[in-house]
Amino acid sequence: MRMKGIALVAAGLLVTLATLMAAVSPARAEDPERKLTDATYVLKDIQGIPEKGLPPALLSDAYGIAIIPGVIKVGFILGGRYGTGVLLVHDHDKGWSSPSFISLAGGSVGWQIGAQSTDVILVFKTRKSVDNIRKGKFTLGADAAVAAGPVGRDTSASTDIQLKAEIYSYSRSRGLFAGIALDGAVISIDDDANAQFYGKKGVSATEILDGSVSSASPEVKKLQDLLNRYANRDN
């Protein structure tokens, strides 16, 4: 009986890994321009949920934002997650930067079963976390605390909450899991996607986010304009 149980667990793990790899492969091959379009749709859709969108005050004061469409999480005892997206930083005088492409990956162990696709938005309150992402891999929950973000347009309430965490998360989930746990997930710069999108081999996230390298892509402008609009900015 014990051997049978072990065999079933092993089979479950193999299914989990196969499913995760199948999900990861298309994500890696996805066109960066399409990723920008998806990120814009995710922001628009989450902001379109009545009384559940990101507060304008939070976006206006944020240092950076990561939008990661379709983070895939699969699990059977052993869980895993993977997704790609974009990271932009916010300058009060210049507006939002061009995007650096990023990936999010992580795993977990626990009694779970199912598959889930989740759109994730992370709002960074200060420069510290974003700088750590630029330098290398950044682990959510270990390098900085992540909290569920305030919602709606109640500026005073959201301002009180903003002081208590470095990163705020928003998500829209579909599938069998009830939500998404981000602690332990690692954010990394997607150098290949950056090189492809900006047409410059070896381009760094720092060059992109600081404005040394930029893009005139209409998809970039759409996302920047949308962020400015939701932050109640005029520029």
pLDDT tens digits along 66-107: 999 988 766 555 556 788 999 999 988 888 999 999 999 885
Nearest alpha-carbon partner for 119 in 60, 153, 63, 73: 73
Burial of 126-149, coded b for 16+ CB within 10 Å and e otherwise, reads eeebbbebbeeebebeebbebeeb
With H, G, I as helix, E, B as strand and everything else as coil, classify residue 83: strand
pLDDT at position 176 is 43
CA–CA separation, 184 and 100 (whole Å): 22
> And the tokens for 155?
């500026």
Per-domain residue ranges of the chain: 2-230
CA–CA separation, 128 and 171 (whole Å): 23
| pTM beyond cutoff 0.85 | no
CA–CA separation, 70 and 118 (whole Å): 5
- Distance (Å) of CA 25 to CA 72, 119, 232: 11, 18, 38
CA–CA separation, 123 and 89 (whole Å): 10
pLDDT at position 146 is 84
Q: Nearest 5°: phi and psi at 128?
A: -55, -55
Radius of gyration of the chain from its Cα atoms, rounded to whole angstroms = 18
Alpha helices by DSSP H, listed for the chain, are 2-29, 32-47, 56-61, 127-135, 155-162, 191-198, 205-209, 218-230
Residues of the chain with pLDDT under 50: 3, 5-29, 110-112, 155-160, 162, 175-179, 233-235
pLDDT at position 151 is 75
